[in-house]
Chains A and B, each alone.
Chain A
Amino acid sequence: MVSTSGRAHIDAPAPATDKDSRWLERLAPLAAVWIGLLLALGPVFATLLRSLMVDGAPDGLAFDNFTRLFADPRARQAALNTLIIGVGVTLASSLLGFMLAWIVSRTDIPGRRSFEILNLVPFFTSPYVGAMAWQYLTAPHSGILPNLARSWFGIDLSFIRINSISGVIWVLVLFYTPFIYLFVIGPMRNLNGALEDAARVHGLSFFQTMRRVTLPLLAPALLSGAIVVFVTSAGLFDVPVILATPYSIPTVPALIYESIGYPSDFGRAAALGAMMMGVIIMLVVAQRQYLGSRRFETVSGKGYSPRVTKLRPAARNAALALELVYIGCGAVLPLISIIMVSLSPLWRGYFEPSKITLANFIYVLDEFELTRGAIVNSAILSIAGASLIVALGFLQAYSLQTRKNRWANALQPLLSLPNGIPGIIFGLGILIILIRTPLYGTYWIILSAYVAHYFPFALRSIGAVLMSLSPELEQSARSSGASWLQTMRLVVIPLARPGLVATWLMVFIILVRELGSTILLYAQGTETISVAMLILSEQNFLYVAALAVVQVALLGGAFILMSRNSKSLFD
């Protein structure tokens, strides 16, 4: 595993009838890269420029915003807390996501097809709602679990500290593990079991095989997922704002949100955003350097099926227990808590079955006009956004892997830049650029922000998928006379389908839950579900709980419909 891999550019002469295809082959991927650069660099430059703009400086530009930040102990503490949260969530989610993917794709535990879908349920709940749910579950003086433990078993659960950095990490791990799971399950299914068999035959133990063969082969997917988790968990403001900020635990996203408020300090907000961008550039460069020196093809032209490990009874029980604990903590308990809250006329810290009411649902779905429009808007924006992002990401990843050269290597970190900017800062950048255009106040400005902010997820995720496909497959198709379009349609896209579906699903759900940039860009008539939740949270959190139940039901329903159309979502 020493040589660099990439999609080989096909120079074989194409048939004369394929002029259009040839033109598309050259133009479409390249155009996608240029569009990506334009989308990424606009808001990024707006943010960078804003971070350097200082009143009274000779050219209007200086580093004062950064020096102020470094001198502020609260900002330093926030940076440290954010780093701890980001690293903690990334490590724990990576481990858990990898284990869950391995359990459902490579072992014989009972009900693994059901677990394949159930593992994704936490993904349907927005972290904002998840944080509120865990606050209701474990709040020291009014939590459902401490109250039950006290009254039923006489047990004191006051040692649980949900309002702490570890509480934030716990909630984020539950809701970000599916990211890793989605990233690795496709490549894991496609892994050539013969490689692992060879390792075992040559005397390596199970764990040695895992460490020396399985993990390195899945490194592109795992690292891509880990970076996505690090950036999104470190950049998310809604979970810390609920669990940490009230208890004087500052984080960078919470400081950014605070800086946007009046009296606004956009320079400070932009400087914080620029620092996060710096961190993400370093991470992406490190990732590329690590991956650039290795081969990772796990899908070749040879037919094989992934090995299923027969677990011993103890290991099977442990795997089953892990699945049940994860689904219990990530889905069942939060869902029970928000359902209880949503059915209550007033929340007193415990559920009162005799007072069950549908009033919160009636208000949210019938009396509050905004909700119905918000559901439709979210569906339109998320479907259109996810489709555009996946198409763009696929073409970009293909283009960068076809043109494996210095420029391609330099472009990838640039194209990853939007990932490093928290949503609210990105939204501000888009607002500054587009406010004078006719796009302002329409769906298009939100869609532009979504595509510009989230296409790097697709680029990275699809890049990892394409990296796992052997270029020989494509070369064989072209040598056999297939045009570029035919090769894409009949070979590359079908082989990449599990990864593309997983990416689309991931982006779709991210967009349904998106709040950071939408909050500054929506106008009357373009509100999304997340905006509606925020507006409802100003009125009564019981309404938010009701809308969250509706959101989970809609996403879950869509997911079940999708999964019914295929034997396995990721096959």
Chain B
Amino acid sequence: MKALRTVLSLVCLGLAATQSHAQTPALSAATGAEKERIAGLVTEATKEGKLTYWDTVMQPATKNALQAAFVAHYGLPKNFQIEFSEIAPSNMITRLEQEAKAGRATVDAAAVASPIWVAAQARAGALMKYDSPEYANYSLVAQAGLIEPGSYAFNGAYVFVPLWDPEKLKVAGDSWNDVIAAAQEGRVSVGNGAASDATIMTYIGLRTAMGKDYVAKLAAKKPVFIPKSETIASRVVSGEDTMAFMGMPTRAYQLNAKGAKLSYLMPKEGVTLLPQNFFILANATHPAAAKLWFDFILSEQGQKIIVEKEAMISGRNHFISPIPEYAPQIDKLKLVRIDWNKMTPDDLQAARREWMDLFKQ
């Protein structure tokens, strides 16, 4: 009797799920085999009931907006959960490495701006192979070596560029050289190269575009080494620093919305794109939900939410940015070309040592 009740409940649940999926935006827009594939994933995801997602940049409000749109897009139950954590990159990587070694999995999908580590994870088989149909919309960044279709994409990218308060500092010109001329000794900040991959990646880009001597000029300005992008920008607002050499336009966007007056510059010699690499773990315990989440985050709708809320740069082909003043379109940026796939963790460490020597950090 109990078994019969269970079977009937499952049948009812299945019927309800099928009916609720019938008119969802995701299924309405799909046809043929793709429609069947999505319907299958939605049914599986409904059974899974939740998904765990970690990100090093995305804020909870953005996740909430994405979750509401995601559930509506696929017609998932209203009680479908997305367990989310915004976590520092080093902590995320340590946890994921330890879990992978132990064969444990508490995270389904994650995003972190550490392309060298992510590429190494893909090579080691720690990332799930998934041929999302959305990869077709990321062919330009794939050609640039910023993603690896089938293994990982990026849910947005950011840059570290000079940031200042024009009421307290004048910066004339549009070159990295103009920036260094304006920077005041002891009143400029950079990232913490000793602990931050993003800072070292920016250093590699700067070295490529301007040469090592240029970085030595920056070191001569006796900068302070600040680990968090929020603190970097806040110190400029408070007047403690007059310039953040490695500021994040996302923070300018968020602080200016509260009354700050921060300006930033994309120097003409080029900037280093820091892709927030996005992947599904190979041993994810909610694989169907993770795949749907992956598709949704990379979709036009998902990207629009991320760019609007986080001022991130989308890698989607021909994506029109809703806030181009803070999140310019990727094809309008002059980028320093670096093939992160060809770099190893040892290369990253060598660059870190160079940084430490230059800055005597």
Contact = CB atoms under 8 A, between A and B. Distances in A.
A541 B234 contact: yes
Given A142-B240, A248-B361, A345-B258, A260 B94 contact: yes
B230 A524 contact: no
Best-surrounded residue of B52, B114, B189, B231 (most CB of chain A within 10 A): B231
Contacts of A436: 102-104
A260 B192 CA distance: 15
B94 A524 contact: no
Interface stretch (A16-24, A114-122, A190-198, A532-540): A532-540
Interface stretch (A261-269, A474-482, A551-559, A560-568): A261-269
B238 A349 contact: yes
Contacts of B98: 431-432, 435, 520
Interface string B4-43: 0000000000000000000000000000000000000000
A346 B97 contact: no
Interface in B341-361: 345, 348-349, 356, 359-361
A140 B117 CA distance: 38
Given A524-B85, A538-B88, A349 B240 contact: yes
B99 interface: yes
Interface stretch (A239-247, A303-311, A450-458): A239-247
B148 interface: no
A539 B56 CA distance: 11
Contact of B230 (A346, A368, A537): A537
Contact of B348 (A245, A263, A519, A535): A263
A523 B93 contact: no
B86 to A, nearest CB: 5
B289 interface: no
Interface string B184-202: 0001010010110100000
A67 to B, nearest CB: 18
Contacts of A15: none
A449 to B, nearest CB: 14
B180 interface: no
Contacts of B103: 436
Contact of B239 (A260, A349, A538): A349
Interface stretch (B130-138, B209-217, B221-229, B321-329): B221-229
Contacts of B93: 261-262, 264
Given A347-B234, A520-B94, A248 B225 contact: yes
Nearest to B57: A538
A539 B104 contact: no
Interface in A427-448: 428, 431-432, 435-436, 440-441
Interface string A59-74: 0000000000000001
Nearest to B344: A263
A550 to B, nearest CB: 17
Best-surrounded residue of B85, B94, B260 (most CB of chain A within 10 A): B94
Given A258-B195, A261-B195, A346-B260, A440 B97 contact: no
Contacts of A529: none
A414 B206 CA distance: 51
B259 A345 contact: yes
Contacts, number: 125
B240 A139 contact: yes
B83 interface: yes
A141 interface: yes
Given A257-B195, A347-B238, A535 B86 contact: yes
Interface in A265-313: none
B94 to A, nearest CB: 6
Interface in A364-388: 367-370
A471 B247 CA distance: 65
A525 interface: yes
Nearest to B231: A541
Nearest to A260: B94
Contact of B345 (A263, A346, A370, A432): A263
Interface string B56-91: 100111000000000000000000000111111111
A275 B258 CA distance: 47
A520 B91 contact: yes
A348 interface: yes
Contacts of A535: 85-87
B265 interface: no
A260 B88 contact: no
B335 interface: no
Contacts of B94: 260-262, 264, 428, 520
Contact of B237 (A246, A346, A368, A432): A346
Contacts of B283: none
Given A248-B360, A261-B90, A347-B234, A524 B240 contact: no
A525 B88 contact: no
A537 B86 CA distance: 10
Interface string B231-246: 1001101111100000
B249 to A, nearest CB: 16
Contacts of A241: 227
B95 interface: yes
Given A246-B227, A368-B60, A436-B102, 5 more contacts: A261-B93, A346-B259, A348-B238, A519-B91, A525-B83
27 contacts: A140-B240, A142-B240, A163-B224, A245-B194, A245-B225, A246-B226, A247-B224, A248-B360, A262-B94, A262-B114, A263-B345, A264-B90, A347-B234, A367-B61, A431-B98, A435-B101, A520-B94, A520-B95, A523-B106, A524-B83, A524-B85, A535-B86, A535-B87, A537-B231, A538-B88, A538-B228, A540-B234
Closest 4 CB pairs of A and B: A261-B90, A524-B83, A142-B238, A142-B240
